[in-house]
Structure 1
């Protein structure tokens, strides 16, 4: 099953961190956030990726086209017939297949997904997510849930992470009983991405550049009764601000990143 990742947006809310690279290439622990997302899927055996690119796509292409060279020891013989010998590859991404699809600079999310239809080919299902958020999603359970209900699309419903510190206050109104710097909301759920879609969902989409996946297409699915939610109560965190960038890097650098399952094999 192929995994489609939306990574063509401008990411204007996090320009104060990096304004010269696309948002999915902003690093966590030295690796782009999109790499972390792909590692999550690969952990569950899904290694066939389609990246829907737009803004500064050349940065993403450069990273993956030169991935082997950057991950390996290289011996170079200079001269008229120069040679480059790659040895001692130092990565665990053997077998990954990555299609780098140019889906337009100005295209919105719905149009981007529609434009990679040819790469889905005759596969009955595909997975879809955003290139700017990580979570400890159980992909195997997500896919099993989707197959169990027979509807067209499943999205992962997550608890929105709190953006401000939360204080626990005693009945006297002034004594602090708890301090949670980054609480998780206990109320409703929001769309956390990590979709599983039947192929026919692509027929609901159009090539119009202004088609937003989360608007008309999702509303159409609701009207048809074809949208289900996979409830996820674990970790989920987007990278929308410099504060969230710092949080994710702090978690990773301190070996406290809940989404990093591949190191636990």
Structure 2
């Protein structure tokens, strides 16, 4: 009943600490209050995403990214009227406040409605040969390598299933029989699994030209070597809100220069920066595509996602990026595989 008390933070709380609170608690929100418990603002994943995209450091105070004017309700609000307020404002949370502005509770959309199944298709690119992971992939397709207590592909499936997704299409090629024999039609997991067989390697998106189903919903695509705790529902919500034709999930990659960097103005030394860290966004291998994009993929040919996105950019189509702030790793080589093994128990169990 008092779970909301665990998500209260002060305005000077670091953004990173607020993120940890959001991840640790089930409410998916942080409430910013003053020392007397009066509501100052709210912080959701959407606020965090905006802050990351603006380049706001995670060690800055949370008041820099909070929504200072959240919609609130008084404690006497009729329960029947809460759901319409949430829907009218496209919100997932409503702070409950008393007459003096103190926070006394939270109403959540998830608590008021039954979670429906998600009808969006999920396409998993699981056909790669995993050459950089040899000898591990000599007799095993990369998505079937065991990390923790199960194959990578099963963890991917479970992450989607836990968020309401159940319609899957696995694009397979290298040693595809091992994937088919293990997952079959997906009924063991309560899923519906179909397969696209690549007779030859078709790149990171070419097999989507063979997608056999009609849909008017955005399609989620994920590479079969990605482990992440990202909210795929929030990713789709972001895609809808920004009215994008395509959305690319991105992860933050920090690179530290191992030397002191010289600052200069023409030929004059003006200072040094000792071993600076530069943050960049990298492609996370997770995408949302509107179904009409499938018509732009050449039939039954090798075609990469980067080529598709470049073609869309050339036509000035709207492509958005969605920053992943949760756990993410691309198991591309032996070092990444070992890191995933190390992380697994603390992240997925």
Aligned pairs (5 A) from 1:93-242: 93=189, 95-116=190-211, 118-119=212-213, 121-160=214-253, 187-215=279-307, 217-223=308-314, 224-242=316-334
- Matching residue of 1:48: 167
Q: Offset of 1:7 from its aligned partner? A: 0.6
> What per-residue deviation string (whole Å, max 9, x for no partner) do you get for residues 101-133 of structure 1?
2122322222111111x22x1333211110001
Q: Offset of 1:161 from its aligned partner? A: 6.9
Q: Which stretch of the first structure deviates more once superposed, 123-132 or 3-12?
A: 123-132
2:129 corresponds to 1:24: no
Answer with 1 or 2: which has the greater Rg. Answer: 2
Q: 1:218 to 1:62 in 2, by over 3 A?
A: same
- Matching residue of 1:64: 183
Q: Is the 8 A contact 2:210 2:300 kept in 1?
A: no
The count of aligned residue pairs is 213
Runs of 4+ displaced beyond 6 Å: none
Q: Is the 8 A contact 1:53 1:104 kept in 2?
A: no
Consecutive unaligned residues of structure 1, counting only runs of 5 or more, are: 69-90, 170-184
Q: 1:66 to 1:234 in 2, by over 3 A?
A: closer
CA distance in 1, matches of 2:144, 2:236: 27
Over aligned residues, Cα RMSD in angstroms? 2.5
CA distance in 1, matches of 2:216, 2:169: 13
- Matching residue of 1:250: 342
Q: 1:161 to 1:21 in 2, by over 3 A?
A: farther
> What per-residue deviation string (whole Å, max 9, x for no partner) do you get for residues 150-194 of structure 1?
1211110111377xx999x9xxxxxxxxxxxxxxx8511011022
CA distance in 2, matches of 1:246, 1:214: 27
TM-score (norm 2): 0.56
| 3-state SS in 2 of match to 1:134 | strand
Q: Which stretch of the first structure deviates more once superposed, 225-234 or 6-15?
A: 225-234
Q: Is the 8 A contact 1:28 1:249 kept in 2?
A: yes
Q: Is the 8 A contact 1:5 1:52 kept in 2?
A: yes
Q: Offset of 1:145 from its aligned partner? A: 0.4
Q: Which stretch of the first structure deviates more once superposed, 149-158 or 224-233?
A: 224-233
1:14 to 117, 123, 133: 133
Q: 1:19 to 1:161 in 2, by over 3 A?
A: farther
> What per-residue deviation string (whole Å, max 9, x for no partner) do you get for residues 8-39 of structure 1?
11110001323111111111123111111111
TM-score (norm 1): 0.73
Consecutive unaligned residues of structure 2, counting only runs of 5 or more, are: 1-119, 261-276
| 3-state SS in 2 of match to 1:40 | helix
> What per-residue deviation string (whole Å, max 9, x for no partner) do you get for residues 202-224 of structure 1?
01111252211222x11012222
Looking at both structures, which has the greater relative contact order when contacts are Cα pairs under 8 Å and sequence separation is at least 6?
A: 1
> What per-residue deviation string (whole Å, max 9, x for no partner) do you get for residues 221-262 of structure 1?
22223211011133211111122212211222xx312xx2xx
